[in-house]
Chain A
Amino acid sequence: AQSVTQLGSHVSVSEGALVLLRCNYSSSVPPYLFWYVQYPNQGLQLLLKYTTGATLVKGINGFEAEFKKSETSFHLTKPSAHMSDAAEYFCAVKTSYDKVIFGPGTSLSVIP
């Protein structure tokens, strides 16, 4: 069965600092992996996804993630945090039944 874990339910960074949000997955099949962002009382917006091919995936708003099969990881990074990046971030994996399972989420705070 597929599952997703996100280390750190809350991450705080200073404005301009590196953002690193961790995601590890388990999957019995080649995974499709996603990162979504959610602002309060809103739906989810796709930041980026990995399906096949290049393991370094670039997304919107300067975010990128690297798929590392050996580490079963798909960590999300951004070189320089902006205040507008403060939100909830969810890592997700597509299951073999075409469903998406979400990790528990990481709340990102950006300190001015």
Chain B
Amino acid sequence: GAVVSQHPSWVICKSGTSVKIECRSLDFQATTMFWYRQFPKQSLMLMATSNEGSKATYEQGVEKDKFLINHASLTLSTLTVTSAHPEDSSFYICSASLGTGHGYTFGSGTRLTVV
């Protein structure tokens, strides 16, 4: 149970284009979802927290106009990387809270390569 499905698993896009990454909770309602970015051989850095029906809260230093997060339903959150550049190439992972004391579940990640 408590599975988050993340798509696509990998994507290559041209510089200047936009890419959308989706995370769906398959068997539970995800009121709160988190988006992380991970550079090679580094830890996960929290980018933003999204709550269903409200604006996302971004961490310091994360450009909210570049990384658009939408959490329109209890089962879907999306991250759109707008006007992507090579420096945006990274591994992006979503996570959903399972409620107080129940931890978190993670998507399988999306490898974004901008060429």
A46, B43: Cβ atoms under 8 Å?
Answer: no
In the complex, which of the residues B41, B43, B46, B109 contacts A43, with contact meaning CB atoms closer than 8 Å? Answer: B109
B103, A105: Cβ atoms under 8 Å?
Answer: no
Interface range on chain A: under 10, 10 to 19, 20 to 34, or 35 or more? 20 to 34
Chain A stretch 4-31: residues in CB contact (< 8 A) with chain B: none
Q: What CA separation (Å) do A100 and B43 show in the bound complex? A: 12
The majority secondary structure among interface residues of chain B is strand
> Distance (Å) between the CB of B27 and the closest chain A CB?
16
Q: Which residue of A lies closest to B44 (CB)?
A: A102
Instruction: Tell me if B34 is interfacial: C-beta within 8 Å of chain A.
Output: yes
Given A99-B34, A99-B49, A100-B34, do A43 and B106 touch, yes or no (CB 8 Å)? yes
> Distance (Å) between the CB of A33 and the closest chain B CB?
10
> Distance (Å) between the CB of A45 and the closest chain B CB?
8
Chain B residues in contact with chain A, CB under 8 A?
6, 32, 34, 41-44, 46, 49, 91, 93, 95, 97, 101, 103-109, 111
Q: Give 11 CB contacts A-B under 8 Å.
A: A34-B104, A36-B106, A44-B93, A44-B106, A45-B106, A49-B103, A90-B43, A99-B34, A100-B34, A102-B43, A107-B41
